[in-house]
Structure 1
Amino acid sequence: MTLATHDEIRIHGTVAPGFEAVRDRFVANFTRDDDSREVGAAVAVYRHGSLVVDLWAGFRDEARREPWTADTLVNVWSTTKGVTAIALARLVDQGKVDYAAPVAAYWPEFAQAGKADITVAQLVSHQAGLPGFVDPTPLSDFYDWETVASRLAAQAPMWEPGTKNSYHAMTYGFLAGEIIRRVSERSVGRFVAEEIAGPLGADVHIGLAERDEPRVAAMIPPKAGEGFDPATMPPEALAAVANPAMEPTIPHDRAWRAAEVPAGNGHATALGLARIFGALANGGELDGVRLMSPETIAKLTTVQTRREDVMLGFKPFWAHGVALNDSGVFGPRPGTFGHSGWGGSFACADPGTGVAIGYVMNQMGGGLVGDPRAVGLCHAVFASL
């Protein structure tokens, strides 16, 4: 249903009694007077397994001709990592992967170049020393899984694994994804579709089918932002974003959307993300579908490093592929965990309150984490409890 019309922006969806502040915050993001003013966006919230907020508004394109609809998909950049981490955790829950085990136990070729002792836990908490590719890597190589996986298997770490952490911005997905592929004998995209998104009815995709192309919103580059200055970036950080260079408009290409890049090319609705994280906020189960046990959720969210991240410049409290909420970007509760994406999208869960939130948009903000729209929505949700 249409909830409100404000400055020609129609707010669609539903809000449960008591969560009106989330709707108000969502509306306010469309009337901001800064570079983060929304063009099109959606937010969804679950609490204790029930959908309490499901809102969408705006337009799929910068020209504001194509309305955002309930099923509009958008590239969520690194929010994809949270979904990939959940996929790996499902294999942990099934007893097929152990975070404490060497990566080489599942991927023997990974033992090359001094990497035999790197554990799965170190790999997914950005401590493995493989934040980027050493060999020249054009974007087209991302579309050939065997090429990037074999390249990472042969590469030596940039630091002694376990002694520092620097965000594995794009390599994370191929590294964690190859473990998923070796153990499940399925690609990450297929595993997510068959084991997570499909059973939950969650509109989340890693590797977008051509039939879904008409639903995709165009990403709008940041109007201003921090940017990446190669002259001032440490080599570990530069490796993560410069080879190949990540540009905001890459998601406009069909080749990018069709490929499986499990660190950055997930396409999702806010509701789809909220359903997946809603299961984890609800003890691992949603609508009769169990993803994992509460014990596995506890393993997934066990912090592995509290060091300052070399690339990010703050202490993200990395767990097993998700970040704990030490910085407050997911609201006021430290037990909340999740992942953000370049430009503003995020998904998070708080088992303590049973709350999960998914948020997507097409007007990218300038930062990697802490987008003001996202932070405002999180605080409005928790203030409503």
Structure 2
Amino acid sequence: MTVGDHPVTTSGHCDPRFSRVREVFDRHFSDGEELGAAFAVFLDGEPVVDLWGGVADRHAGRPWEAGTPVLAYSCTKAVAATAMLLLVERGLVDVRSPVSAYWPEFARDGKARVTVEHVLTHQAGLPAIEEPVPLEEFEDLPAIAGRLAAQAPLWEPGTAHGYHAVTYGFLIDELIRRVTGMSTGELVAAEIAGPHQLDLWLGAPPDVAARAARLSAGERTARAGEQAARTGERAAPAGGAGVAEPPAANGPVAAMAAATRDKDSLMNRALGNPPIHKLPGGGNHPVILRAGWPALGMVTTARALAGFYRALVAGEILAPSTLGNAMRPRVGGPDRVLYLDSAFGLGYMRPAMTFLTPARGVESAFGHTGLGGSLGLGDVEHGLAMAYTMNRMVGSVAGSRRAYRLAEAVYGSLT
């Protein structure tokens, strides 16, 4: 297998019971769907899959190694939610309380009744920042949060949900700062990553940023397209969620695809400000890697992200009762920003069009997808924790076929 002029090999460990997982992982490379990627799985707390391969930088040919980190985009949201839930569990935050109880300036312009739960469940009505955020403000999270405090909600909070793709993190971060005096990244380092020895950062130090895989946009190769035709799969439209059926002309997938072409759509406004695209290299830029935006700024390895879910499932980060309550779906159905059906507990995605899950995990899986295809998933009922990271992006804010196939192979390998 090769990527450009660079030979591709895959490495790592796979328990014989999960041989199907390795077959899928390797096939993604042989079919030309991957540049570099990693996939890790824990079952009942034990590592059963830890695979990696390909190139971390397609131009330099730098190989993807066991400890290669990468920006995991919105997989970050589940980690940020967990940091908030730690404060809830300790009685420092009540999710039913208004945000303004902790952040008084937030109450203006019709937001006095916005609760912490509304923020965690994407019901706050603040999915987009109205004024363009200047580049010099990208690392000033309180300043960006102040912009949201000065806005009016786009809908009555609590009456609908719409994915707060970027603003979610600034809202969570300011709440955490007001309660603890720490940023979300500092709290995650002190309470989650550090104690559990996870290579997971919201705010990557220079040495980590330097060895991070470089994200690369790119369509599937012709060979991959031929493979899709053979298997009956259909590629998602630009921005789509990777559903297998052709979209109805007037269905939610078609509406989402149309929104991607409208620069003024709420979806593009939500995704496009702060304007990461104005930085050379976009998400690869050092500013993004070190800023630690709690909606999309986590730099991590698949092994560490799966380890985070392993610790969650085992009750080592949150009490089982806290996690069980957080997993309970609070909202579901058409998403005002993404158009597709989405479902959320307290910060965690639940199975829906935006979090495609194999049938065996539909009632029990929770986690979060990341822009371009990454995935973090936990399942208490089945004792599973898994994570997929990669650097070849797909045009999706709702996961990828590659992640779904890997998860399907994991669930299919359970006895």
TM-score normalised to the size of structure 2? 0.85
**Counterparts of 2:27 and 2:291, CA distance in 1:** 35
In structure 1, the gaps of 5 or more residues are 1-6, 285-289
Structure 1 contact 330–348 (Cα < 8 Å) conserved: no
- Residue-by-residue CA offset, 1:294-342 (whole Å, 9 max, x unaligned): 1000121121111310222222111111111134623221210110011
Cα offset, 1:139, TM superposition: 3.9
Give 1:349-364 correspondences, 5 Å limit: 349-364=378-393
The aligned residue for residue 161 of structure 1 is 157
**Counterparts of 1:45 and 1:53, CA distance in 2:** 5
Cα offset, 1:135, TM superposition: 1.9
**Counterparts of 1:103 and 1:43, CA distance in 2:** 37
The aligned residue for residue 129 of structure 1 is 125
Structure 2 residue identity aligned to 1:330: T
Question: In structure 2, which of residues 307, 311, 319 is the aligned counterpart of residue 279 of structure 1?
Answer: 311
Cα offset, 1:72, TM superposition: 0.5
Structure 1 contact 121–304 (Cα < 8 Å) conserved: no
Structure 1 residue identity aligned to 2:340: F
- Residue-by-residue CA offset, 1:205-253 (whole Å, 9 max, x unaligned): 0111112233211110133761575664774323202333343931221
Give 1:175-190 correspondences, 5 Å limit: 175-190=171-186
Cα offset, 1:8, TM superposition: 4.1
Q: Secondary structure at the residue paired with 1:18?
A: helix
The aligned residue for residue 348 of structure 2 is 322
**Counterparts of 1:29 and 1:86, CA distance in 2:** 32
**Counterparts of 2:187 and 2:374, CA distance in 1:** 23
Structure 2 contact 68–211 (Cα < 8 Å) conserved: yes
Structure 2 contact 189–201 (Cα < 8 Å) conserved: yes
Question: In structure 2, which of residues 263, 267, 272 is the aligned counterpart of residue 237 of structure 1?
Answer: 267
- Indicate the larger mover: 23-32 or 9-18: 9-18
Structure 1 contact 166–236 (Cα < 8 Å) conserved: no
Cα offset, 1:256, TM superposition: 1.5
The aligned residue for residue 4 of structure 1 is none
Q: Taking structure 1 as reference, are residues 48 and 178 closer, same or farther at Cα in structure 2, changes over 3 Å only? A: same
Give 1:91-110 correspondences, 5 Å limit: 91-110=87-106
Structure 2 residue identity aligned to 1:226: A
- Residue-by-residue CA offset, 1:76-108 (whole Å, 9 max, x unaligned): 111111111111112122222222121112212
- Residue-by-residue CA offset, 1:34-78 (whole Å, 9 max, x unaligned): xxx101000000111111111111111113611111110101111
Q: Taking structure 1 as reference, are residues 101 and 238 closer, same or farther at Cα in structure 2, changes over 3 Å only? A: same
The aligned residue for residue 247 of structure 2 is none
**Counterparts of 2:7 and 2:75, CA distance in 1:** 30
**Counterparts of 1:330 and 1:55, CA distance in 2:** 21
- Indicate the larger mover: 174-183 or 322-331: 322-331
- Residue-by-residue CA offset, 1:138-177 (whole Å, 9 max, x unaligned): 3432211221111111111111111222111110001011
**Counterparts of 1:307 and 1:70, CA distance in 2:** 39
Structure 1 contact 111–153 (Cα < 8 Å) conserved: yes
Structure 1 contact 59–65 (Cα < 8 Å) conserved: yes
**Counterparts of 1:189 and 1:299, CA distance in 2:** 24
CA-atom RMSD, angstroms? 1.9
Structure 2 residue identity aligned to 1:342: L
The aligned residue for residue 3 of structure 1 is none
How many residue pairs get matched?
370
**Counterparts of 2:99 and 2:72, CA distance in 1:** 27
Structure 2 residue identity aligned to 1:337: F
The aligned residue for residue 256 of structure 1 is 288
TM-score normalised to the size of structure 1? 0.91
Structure 2 residue identity aligned to 1:258: R
Structure 1 contact 71–215 (Cα < 8 Å) conserved: no
- Indicate the larger mover: 127-136 or 327-336: 327-336
The aligned residue for residue 15 of structure 2 is 16
**Counterparts of 1:209 and 1:15, CA distance in 2:** 31
The aligned residue for residue 249 of structure 2 is none
Cα offset, 1:374, TM superposition: 0.3
Structure 1 residue identity aligned to 2:400: D
**Counterparts of 1:115 and 1:169, CA distance in 2:** 19
Give 1:172-321 correspondences, 5 Å limit: 172-223=168-219, 226-227=238-239, 229=259, 232=262, 235-247=265-277, 249-282=281-314, 284=315, 290-321=316-347
**Counterparts of 1:9 and 1:66, CA distance in 2:** 11
Structure 1 residue identity aligned to 2:349: A
Structure 1 residue identity aligned to 2:328: T
- Indicate the larger mover: 177-186 or 19-28: 177-186
Over the matched positions of the two proteins, sequence identity in percent amounts to 39
Give 1:47-126 correspondences, 5 Å limit: 47-63=43-59, 65-126=61-122
**Counterparts of 1:166 and 1:101, CA distance in 2:** 21
Q: Secondary structure at the residue paired with 1:59?
A: strand
Q: Secondary structure at the residue paired with 2:216?
A: coil
